[in-house]
Amino acid sequence: MVNPDPKHGRWVLPLIIAAMVLLTYTFVNSIEPANSPTEGTDAEPPFPTDVTSSTTTLPTDIAAFMVTLDIFANQAQTYADDVDRINARWDTREALFAETRTALVDLQDEISAWENAVAQVEGVPADLAAGHVALVIAVSDLAPKVADVIAGLEAPDDGTLRRSAVAEFHVEVDQVLAAINDIRATAQATVDESSTTTVAG
């Protein structure tokens, strides 16, 4: 008499795999195919920044630098928020004078270090080098504006100088963001020009 196979489970996994393959095949075939780019669509693809995207026409070095610019833009906005937070805490007297001044000095030092990081960033594409120089110049104006906020904090007035300096800091941050947007526009124009040249050739 033959003993029954005690390993009943060894048949379960192949059946599950076969079922998954069948379901996947059925699901994929049930999806309507996307319109071909040659089938009358006029939609422009969004500006690509994903280096790994299979549909991007953006060169790898430019795509990587676009990611770096996103990081720079977020950092600039963070500094603007930091100045507002420190200033607001002093206005409401949630922070003491010494604490406020120390926070501003620390922020000024941090921005100065960031300025060096922006200036020395690696991987700047040649086509975007001029824009990068403009960005570095814009960033270099941030730390001195924090110094103006500190001077306003120390001034024996009603806070007008300090508030004006805070407003001017925001203007400088806007200049940094504008410089970043200019680089992005240059990158897009470079890609568009390259695509046009390729088609014409």
pLDDT by 10s per residue, the chain, length 201: 444 444 444 444 444 444 444 444 444 454 444 454 444 444 444 444 444 433 347 889 999 999 999 999 999 999 999 999 999 999 999 999 999 999 999 999 999 999 999 999 999 999 999 999 999 999 999 999 999 999 999 999 999 999 999 999 999 999 999 999 999 999 999 887 766 655 444
What b-and-e string marks burial along 116-133, b requiring 16 or more CB atoms within 10 Å of the CB? Answer: eebeebeebbebbeebbe
Retrieve residue 131's tokens: 């824009």
Retrieve residue 70's tokens: 């996103």
Retrieve residue 158's tokens: 């009603």
Q: Is residue 4 situated within a structural domain?
A: no
pLDDT of 152: 98
8 A C-beta contact, residue 181 and residue 138: no
Q: Is residue 130 situated within a structural domain?
A: yes
8 A C-beta contact, residue 50 and residue 110: no
Q: Is residue 121 situated within a structural domain?
A: yes
Number of domains in the chain: 1
∠ Cα 64 51 55 (to 5°): 140
> Residue 134 belongs to what domain range?
60-196
Helical segments of the chain, H only: 12-30, 60-91, 97-119, 129-139, 142-154, 160-200
Q: Is residue 50 situated within a structural domain?
A: no
Q: Is residue 26 situated within a structural domain?
A: no
CA distance 17 to 73: 47
pLDDT of 61: 93
Q: Is 128 strand, coil or helix?
A: helix
Q: How many CB atoms lie within 10 A of CB 68?
A: 17
Q: Is residue 101 situated within a structural domain?
A: yes
Residue 150: which CATH number? 1.20.120
* Cα separation values, 89 from 19, 93, 104, Å: 62, 6, 12
